[in-house]
Amino acid sequence: MSEQVFLITSEIKTYPWGKKGQASLVAQLASIPDCHVDESVTYAELWMGTHPAAPSRVLDSGKLLSEHLAANPHLLGEPVINRFGLKDGNLPFLFKVLSFDKALPVQIHPNKSLAERIHANQPERYGDPNHKPEMALALSQFHVLCGFLPGFQMLAYLSSVPEFASMFSQDLIDNLSSAVQQKDADRQKGVLKELWSTLLKANKAAVEQNLSTLVDRYRSAKVSPEEEKVKPLLLRLYDMYPGDHGVFCAFMMNYYVLNEGHALSVTVGEPHAYISGDIIECMATSDNTIAAAFCPEEDKDIDNFLAGVQVSPALGKTLIQPTMFTPGSTHTNGTLVFNPGINELAVMQVIVAKSHIEGHRPRRGPSIAIVTDGAGTIVWADGSKRLHLKRGQVVFIGQGTAVKFSAGERPFHLYRAFVEVPLD
C-alpha cells in the first residue's frame, strides 16, 4: 500500500502577463528538479494537481500523480470518488500559485452545462467538460476586477464620463436609469447585460478613439470627484492594453485591492480580471476560460462569454471570511480555513510559529500543500514518519491522515488545498 504522505512536483505555465524571471513568485517556488530560471521568461502559474494540461508527478518515482492515485484509490477515499464521479485517479480540485504584473484577460468560467457544450463543439479550445468555480487568496497586495457594479454606480459613470456614455445609445442609458429608479432588479440585470454586449461588440476604431480622448483628458485636466476615484485604475489598464474594450471595465466592474491574507471567490459566469499580485488560487479541476478582453482577438469568444455571463451585482459578497481551524484539532492556533462554498475545494493558510507545532485532524478527503516561506517538518503515522519540507516543496496528503507541521528556528508558512465529503 502506498505511503499516505509524499512529495509531488509542481508544473510551470508561462503567459505574457506573468512576472519575469526571479521577480516571479512562481519561479521562486518552482519545485521541478534542475529548473533553470530564465530572466526573460514570464513565469505566470504554478500548477499542482492532476489536470492533463500540466500534471504533477510523484517526486520519487516520476509517475503521474493521477496514475499513482488510480492505483491507490484509498488516498482519495471512496466517498470523494463517488461524490464527484472521479475517474483515472483525478482530483476534483486544481491548486495554483499565480504571479503577475499585467492584467489577465477579462473572462468568465462556464457552468457545467455550458462547459459540456463548448467542449463538445471546440475541444481544441476548451479541453475539458467541467465547470470552474474558483477562489483566490492574496500572498501580496492583489488588485482585481470582479463582478458587475450595481446599476446606480454604473449610471453615475455614464452621467459623468461622456467618452464612456458615447459607447451606448441614449435609449439604453435611459432604460438603465428607469430600472434603477424603479428598483427593478431583474430589469437592471437585463440592461446591464445589454450594456456589456454593446461594449464588447463595439467598433474597434470607436473604442480606440473614445479611450484616447478620455486618457488625454485624464492626463491633462482636472476631473470630477466621481471620475477621480477611478482615474488611476483606468490609466493603469490603458497603459497595459491601449485601445482595448476592457479598459472601460473600470466603469462597469467592482474593483478590489486585497492585502495579504485576504481572499475572494469567483462563481461560474462571474466576470473578472486579475490585475496584479501574487496569489494562491484553487478551483474545480478545469482549464476552461472564456475571454472577452485584454487578450489577442483570436483568443476572444464573445458569443460564449455573453451566453455564460451572470449579471448579479453584489458588492462585498465576493470576499471570503476565514475561520479558525479548531474543531477536532490539537496544538492549533495558526491555521485559518478559507471556504468559498465550492463543493470541490477549500484552502487552509497554515502559519507555524517558531518552535511551534500545528496539528491537523484527519480530513475526509485528499489534500495538497505547498510551502511558501521558511522550512519545517510534516509528521504523520502517530509520529513515526516525517518529511522535512522547504520553500517551494509540494506534498500530497492522503485522506484520513492526521498530520502535524512543526517549525524550527523560524516561522514556517504553507497553504493546503483540500476537498472533504461531509458526514451523513
Binding residues for Zn(2+): 107, 109, 134, 272
Q: Using only C-alpha atoms, what is the Rg of the chain?
A: 23
Residue 219, helix vs strand vs coil = helix
Closest CA to 68 of 6, 152, 161, 16: 6
81/75 Cα distance (integer angstroms)? 10
- Give 60: exposed, middle or buried? Use CB within 10 Å, 0-12, 13-18, 19+: exposed
Query: d(Cα 111, Cα 92) in Å, to the nearest integer?
Result: 15
Tally of CB atoms within 10 A around 413: 21
Exposed / middle / buried, residue 410 (Cβ in 10 Å: 0-12, 13-18, 19+)? middle
How far out from the chain centre does Cα 9 lie?
20
CA–CA distances in Å: residue 48 to residues 43, 53, 89, 415: 15, 11, 14, 12
C-alpha cell belonging to residue 262: 485576504
Provide the residue type at 245 as one letter: H
* Apex 239 CA angle, 141 and 243, nearest 5: 130
| Of residues 330, 329, 347, the one with CA closest to residue 338 | 347
Which segments are annotated as binding site?
Answer: 107, 109, 134, 272
Look at the block and give the residue holding cell 459566469: 269
> Which DSSP letter does residue 315 get?
T
Q: How many residues does the chain have?
A: 424
Give me the half-sphere count of Cα atoms (radius 13 Å) on the Cβ side of residue 51. 26
* 3-class SS of residue 387: strand
**Do the beta carbons of residue 148 and residue 253 sit within 8 Å?**
yes
